[in-house]
Chain A
Amino acid sequence: KNEVEQSPQNLTAQEGEFITINCSYSVGISALHWLQQHPGGGIVSLFMLSSGKKKHGRLIATINIQEKHSSLHITASHPRDSAVYICAVRGPWDSNYQLIWGAGTKLIIKP
């Protein structure tokens, strides 16, 4: 079993729909990252969070440390949101662990 699991692997939705992408992990963490990779390869860091919720524009990320689960939500989705969304977790602050990467969720938003 992978230490970081994302679901769904693929998601196709219509423009305007509310999107939820999930990330579950099995290790103790100090922080969780959400990143976005557009076709062509460019990766952009969206959020780094340790607790609670963060919002940036139409994107919302939440994390529940007790349940070892995070969600990325996109409100009023748009075709330009089509990308692969990746979560990655960081081990405890005093560790030297590398980020553990999820496999990504490929999102397609149809106009």
Chain B
Amino acid sequence: KAGVTQTPRYLIKTRGQQVTLSCSPISGHRSVSWYQQTPGQGLQFLFEYFSETQRNKGNFPGRFSGRQFSNSRSEMNVSTLELGDSALYLCASSFEGNTYEQYFGPGTRLTVT
């Protein structure tokens, strides 16, 4: 089985722009979760989608949004980018949900200048 894929792998944007990141889960997995990782902060949970519905959401502003398609692929959007949004964005897929075993993608490294 192919693993979790994320595109793009690297991205440079300027403040005020918006960005869309994509995640393709392992075939058959219904849950996709998104995490932000910044140096010294560890993993911060953004949201989880399960069968096209947002099941849980972390404590991030409304500029961060996501969606999941019928094929379980998920996108994450960040509008009005700020310098502090520079981070590694990881998605993880799971069959049952993100509190069970998750499989992580390689991440998208976003740099906001």
Q: How many A-B residue pairs have CB under 8 A?
A: 45
Size class of the contact patch on chain A: 20 to 34
Instruction: Decide yes or no whether A48 CB sits under 8 A from chain B.
Output: yes
Interface size of B by CB at 8 A reads 21
Instruction: Decide yes or no whether A66 CB sits under 8 A from chain B.
Output: no
Q: Are B88 and A104 in contact (CB under 8 A)?
A: no
Q: Are B100 and A48 in contact (CB under 8 A)?
A: yes
Residues of A within 8 A of B44 (CB): 101
Give, as a whole number of angstroms, the nearest-CB distance from A107 to chain B: 15
Q: Are B42 and A45 in contact (CB under 8 A)?
A: no
Q: Which of A11-19, A36-44, A70-78 is near enough to bind chain B? A: A36-44
Residues of B within 8 A of A90 (CB): 99
Within 8 A of B (CB), among A62-99: 86, 88, 90-91, 96-99
Q: Are B99 and A99 in contact (CB under 8 A)?
A: yes
Known: A40-B106, A98-B99. 17 other contacts (CB 8 A): A41-B37, A41-B106, A43-B90, A43-B104, A44-B104, A45-B102, A45-B104, A90-B99, A91-B99, A96-B56, A98-B45, A98-B48, A98-B56, A99-B45, A101-B43, A102-B42, A104-B42
- Which residues of B does A touch, CB under 8 Å? 37, 42-45, 48, 56, 58, 88, 90, 92, 98-104, 106-107, 109
